[in-house]
Amino acid sequence: MKKSLCFATNNAHKLEEIQAILGDSFDLLSLKDINCIEELPETGNTLEANSLQKAQYLYDHYQVNCFADDSGLEVSALGGEPGVYSARYAGEQRVHADNINLLLKNLSSKADRSAQFRTVITLFQNGEYHQFEGIIKGQIIEELRGTDGFGYDPIFMPEGFDKTFAEMSLEEKGEISHRARAFQKLVAFLK
């Protein structure tokens, strides 16, 4: 029998990406599937704290085994910014284009364009939690390339590749992304 796990998101891109990694071994539920319509708390100042806060909220309020993630783009020349504030870097409206434009502006005079995407996943299961981290290093390029993906994907080129995340297929990105690396650790733990 398949185990059900709730993923603390309604983001269709994330759900599709993660279902592909999990395969048929789990029945992946979204927030909508468990009738969670409220905004999940995300007031921590680290990826670890936000991930834990969201997963614990779901476990406490909906009594479901669940996991939550928080991801951020960490740019070396900007002291790790935007980091935990990646989604709202240019403001609470959370517009990808605005975030990208601000990041490129802030990097315009910097020679070092190294960056990394980092994901922290918190699994809350049977009253206990475990955290898993995934990192992929790369560079911020100067112009947008590609139409797939979301967020900073059009300007992030992972190490060892000549195309951005936004130029990769879902399968290609799914094999190497920060989220995929964290989820592989989660899946290994679950199995």
Separation between Cα atoms, residue 18 and residue 7, nearest integer Å? 9
User: Annotated catalytic, 70?
Assistant: yes
Active-site residue identified among 33, 60, 69, 70: 70
**CA-to-CA distance for 33 and 191, rounded, in angstroms?**
24
CA dihedral (75, 166, 136, 115) in degrees, to 10, reads -10
107's torsion region: left (phi>0), alpha (psi -120 to 50) or beta? alpha
154 vs 29: CA distance, rounded Å: 28
- Catalytic residues, which ones? 70
